[in-house]
Amino acid sequence: MQFTSAHRLDDGVVERDFTLGDLPGTLWTPESAAPVPLVLMAHNGGLHRREGRLVARARQSAAYGYAVAAIDAPGHGERPRSAADDQHRADLRRALKAGEPVDGIIDAFILPLVERAVPEWRATLDAVLALPGIEGPVGYSGWAALGIRLAVAEPRIAAAGFFAGGFVPGALREEARRVSVPLLFLLQWDDEGNPRQRALDLFDAFGSKEKTLHANLGGHAGTPWFEVDDGDRFFRRHLR
Amino acid sequence: MQFTSAHRLDDGVVERDFTLGDLPGTLWTPESAAPVPLVLMAHNGGLHRREGRLVARARQSAAYGYAVAAIDAPGHGERPRSAADDQHRADLRRALKAGEPVDGIIDAFILPLVERAVPEWRATLDAVLALPGIEGPVGYSGWAALGIRLAVAEPRIAAAGFFAGGFVPGALREEARRVSVPLLFLLQWDDEGNPRQRALDLFDAFGSKEKTLHANLGGHAGTPWFEVDDGDRFFRRHLR
């Protein structure tokens, strides 16, 4: 793990870009003498890990008292995008626009993406936990499809916050039954791209004995800011 | 308004029973030099306002910084129960047990109960806001059917937290569209007596532009304790 930049921000948070082999990532850490727990913040949807809203979330959680790590998913952010990725994205947009079923496209596009991303996140987990002042147990926040596989495969993940979850491949919707960590599932009630009933069915499917659903009015990008704070408090109950 | 008892509790909260005409109630207030907002905590289901879990909630919210007022609903707690109340309750239990529709019973039982309770709560609101150190705006917490009518009728109510809402009469489910205050709607995912889909439909119906749903695994009485804290924080966003 090589740090390539470091900035101390207004809120006292230190933001460092890193590379882990070819993998580009960012780590946000609070000013803290004591070791802090780690939260992995993952996203898909073609977003860059430097997207403004993601960075603001990461900074707030770091200021609250977590180390927050993000890497770009395959084909996202700084990473090369294949012609196949572009084709899948175009197929998905077209099917959504036409109101056609998207299950086949999601299975063909998202499942391989998750399978490539999981070992990258586990390598990131190893590297970040080897740094001084950062310790387990570990929280996961964001991209639901990846989080399901990671929560099942990775015993160091002790609690997970998932967002939306409308576009989770069938195999991972099944795998949700095997997720057993405490869960905070966040959805937008009028999320144009994430059908509400699919998200409610996914919440119902999770095997976790402790799971909480938070739903707010509005579209995909309209999650109220207080949910970041609720997420930090959820992790405080499970990572300390 | 006559206070009939006063106790200072371990957490610094002062608990006072009162009567307002024939109406029995309890007021919990924090140790605070500054004026505090008021939260009305209402319940139905035949419960006494002194039921342990309700009292624990009221005390925690008072310790957090609210004046919390509760009165017994008609036929509840210390108040006389009519033969008609007993008959409605028996009908409801029998229909639920037999898996028969309960809409008719709920309309006949709950709607008149709400109509009797609303002026009692408004009188309580007047009396409590006339006390020194307690000020508006006012929050409402608990019984959904009453809260819908009260939130529509009473402009001093600035935010509302509703629980469950499976047994809301048809007229009040319609009236939910006219509720416009910020809302926190809390439901138990496996609430035996409150069908999930009815509760989700009610959440969908509320006219409020800002509304949040919190759902947790488990039955009617299984709401996790952290939801009390979430409710206090919800009111802090809207009552200050």
Reduced 3-state DSSP string for A49-113: CCCHHHHHHHHHHHHHCCEEEEECCCCCCCCCCCHHHHHHHHHHHHHHHHCCCCHHHHHHHHHHH
pLDDT at position A32: 78
Taking contacts as CB-CB distances below 8 angstroms, the residues of chain B near A216 are: 211-213
Å between B94 CA and nearest CA of chain A: 29
Contact A215 B203 (CB under 8 A): yes
Residues of chain B positioned with their CB less than 8 A from the CB of A209: 217
A–B CB contacts, 8 A cutoff, strictly below? 43
Write down the pTM of the prediction. 0.93
Q: Which residues does A contribute to its contact with B (CB < 8 Å)?
A: 189, 200, 203-204, 208-217, 224, 226, 230, 233, 237
**pLDDT value of position A85:** 87
Shortest CB distance from A211 goes to which of B209, B212, B217? Answer: B217
Q: Enter the tokens of residue A192.
A: 């144009």
Predicted pLDDT at A194: 84
Closest-CA residue of chain A to B209 = A217
Q: Is residue A184 within 8 Å of A230, Cβ to Cβ?
A: yes
- Alpha-carbon distance A179 to A160, whole Å? 10
pLDDT at position A217 is 96
User: Whole-angstrom Cα distance, residue A1 to residue A124?
Assistant: 9
Query: Exposed, middle or buried: residue A73 (CB in 10 Å: 0-12, 13-18, 19+)?
Result: buried
A210 contacts B212? CB cut-off 8 A: no
Residue contact B216–A212, C-beta within 8 A:
yes
Computed on alpha carbons and rounded to an integer, the radius of gyration of chain A in Å comes to 17
A-chain residue closest to B210, CA distance: A217
Asked if A210 and B217 come within 8 Å (Cβ–Cβ), the reply is: yes
Task: Identify the CATH number of the domain defined by range B2-239.
Answer: 3.40.50.1820
CB A226 within 8 A of CB B237: yes
Q: Please name the residue that has the structure tokens 């992790």.
A: A235
ipTM over cut 0.95: no
Distance CA A75, CA A78 (A): 8
Instruction: Looking at the complex, report in whole angstroms how far the Cα of residue B193 sits from the nearest Cα belonging to chain A.
Output: 18
The number of residues making up chain A comes to 240
| CA max distance for chain A | 54
Spell out which chain B residues touch chain A, with contact meaning CB-CB distance below 8 angstroms.
189, 200, 203-204, 208-217, 224, 226, 230, 233, 237
Residue A49 is predicted with a pLDDT of 84
Residue in chain A lying closest to B234 (CA)? A226
Domain range list for chain B: 2-239
Say if the Cβ atoms of A237 and B217 lie within 8 Å. no
Tens-level pLDDT at each residue, chain A (240 residues)? 999 999 999 889 999 999 999 999 999 999 877 899 999 999 887 778 888 888 999 999 999 999 999 999 888 888 888 898 889 989 988 998 898 988 999 999 999 999 999 999 999 999 999 999 999 899 999 999 999 999 999 999 999 999 987 789 999 999 999 999 999 999 999 998 788 999 999 999 999 999 999 999 999 889 999 999 999 999 999 997
pLDDT at A51: 86
Residue ranges of chain B whose pLDDT lies below 70: none
DSSP run (H or E) holding B97: helix B83-98
Min Cα distance B165 → chain A (Å) is 16
Interface touch B212/A211, C-beta < 8 Å: no
B68-122 pLDDT per residue, tens: 999 998 888 888 888 988 899 899 889 988 989 889 999 999 999 999 999 999 9
